Structure formats: structure tokens, C-alpha cells
Amino acid sequence: MEKTMADARETIDGFIEKQISARREEPQGRTPPPNNLEKEAEAEGIDLLSLYMQYENKDEMAHLKSPKTFLRDTIMSMMAAGTDTTSGALTWFFWLLSQNPFVEAKILQELTSIPNPNPTTNKQPRVFNSEDLGGLVYLHAALCECLRLYPPVPIIRKRVVATDHLPSGHRVEPGMDIFYSHYAPARMEKIWGKDCLEFRPERWISEQGVITFDHTDKFMVFNVGPRSCLGKDVSFTQMKAVVAAVLYNFQLQVLRDHVVAPKIAVVLQMENGLMVKVRERAVAAA
């Protein structure tokens, strides 16, 4: 098993190195200037790797011992963190909607409130842009609630680098591994209340109708503090775009007697997948 893992890592490193080398050999005209990188990237379609490479010789990366290793590890994180985790979360989300039609109706109401720029005679499925997605408060809350109940990575491992004491009083030494669960606390009344087992997006919405940050200290799906996931906003945008397009254009019906069970793996996926019937949704009905 160890040899297989080593060979796999060598293959991945080789692929990443080719991507980095290809970017270096591209004409300078495609590379955005140092100022206004993000705006240039959006206008020219520059990918994230090219953006990171613009900072290689700048102060932001001067403290790194090996910028090349940083680029490799960053791309590796993008490849590993944004694929199975996002698809797994969306699978659980659509299943939760099938069990909670009221939540689906609320999301549809939110989507249909966004003006459609295309003519009503347009037969193409509707998709939503980033500006549309930014105002979908209830959809964001529903996704948070799904991630609370079914975190994409249910068990987290951390390596101790210095002697310290945990809040519980336990002493930890360098080299120790600490494992903690994202899955179990979501089902504890003392943490989330008596309705902890319920799929209730409303817990994430304040009285003012915006997303509340009251749960920051116990919602650790994206880590917290300085270890917060850099891809959090990207992940939410991706999931919102998929959910909005699917729900607005189609009806999903989970097959009767389909067995839904978690698969024991690093990423929380469904053992049998999610078998559904897909029907085109009439916009008027939505």
C-alpha cells in the first residue's frame, strides 16, 4: 500500500510540475500585470495557478523557504479539496431536500424572485451568475445546515508541533496526533440544542434576515481562525451555482426504497449513491 501511495504521489507531482512549467513558458502578454491582478484575471480568464505565480518574487512569498514547493502544495490542495468534498456535500444536500420539501419550496421562492434576463421563450436552462448567488440568503443557510449534519470530512487529524494544553486540560506533546469529529457534535443537544437532529436552515438566519455568525465557534467544517480554509468562499459559490441551476430547471425525485447510508471513507459520501428521477421543471410551477 505504501509503494502504491508513493507512486501515486510521484504521478501527481509530475502532473503539477508540467502545469507550472507550461505557465512559465506562456507568452508574457497573457500574464496579468502585478497591479489589479484579480480584475485582470477575471477579464482574461486567468486561472488560480497563474495568479499565485505572479506573487512568487513578491514580499508576500519572501518568507517561504521554497516558493516552488508552496505552488505544488497549493495546487495539490485545490485538486484534493474541491472535488469529492463538494460533490459529496451536494449529494447529501439534494437528499435532505427530498426529505424536507418545505425547504426546497423556500429555495425555489428565493430563486424565482431573481429577475430573469432571458426572454420567456428561451428554451435554454437558466443559470445564475455570481451577482445573483450573492443574495441567496436562504440557500446559503440551507447549505450551512447540510454541512453541519453531513460534513464532507467527518474526522479531522492534527499533528502536534509543540507542547501545549488543550482546553480540556489534556497535555499534548510534539509528534502526537489529535483526531476530532465534525460529524458527532452536530448530533449533540448540549452543542446545537434539542433540534440538533433536524434539518433547519432557519438557525443560520438572524432576525434581520441575514446569515448569523453566532455558530462560528462550533461550526468547524472549514476550520476556524488562522487555519480557516482558503477555498471556503469558492466552495459556497460552486455549490450555490449547482443547486440554483438544478432546482430551478429540474425536479429530483429520490427512487422509492433507495437505501441511503454513509460510506466509511475520508470523505463522507453515500454508500449507494443517490438514485433519482429527473424531470424538467415548469418555470411557472416554480
DSSP 281: P
* Residue pLDDT, tens place only, 18-63: 888 888 777 654 444 444 444 544 545 567 777 777 766 565 555 5
Residue 56's pLDDT is: 64
How much is the pTM? 0.79
* Residue pLDDT, tens place only, 171-200: 999 999 999 899 999 999 999 999 999 999
pLDDT score of 146 more than 90: yes
- Going by the annotation, the residues of the binding site are 229
Q: Name all domains of the chain by residue range, CATH numbers in brackets.
A: 1-21+48-116+125-153+184-280 (1.10.630.10)
Which grid cell sits at 151? 460534513
C-beta of residue 229 within 8 angstroms of C-beta of residue 81: yes
Residue 216's pLDDT is: 83
- Going by the annotation, the residues of the binding site for heme are 229
Q: Using a CB cutoff of 8 Å and minimum separation of 24, what contacts does 97-106 make?
A: 97/142, 97/247, 97/252, 98/252, 98/253, 98/254, 98/276, 99/199, 100/199, 103/142, 103/199, 103/201, 104/247, 106/138, 106/142, 106/201
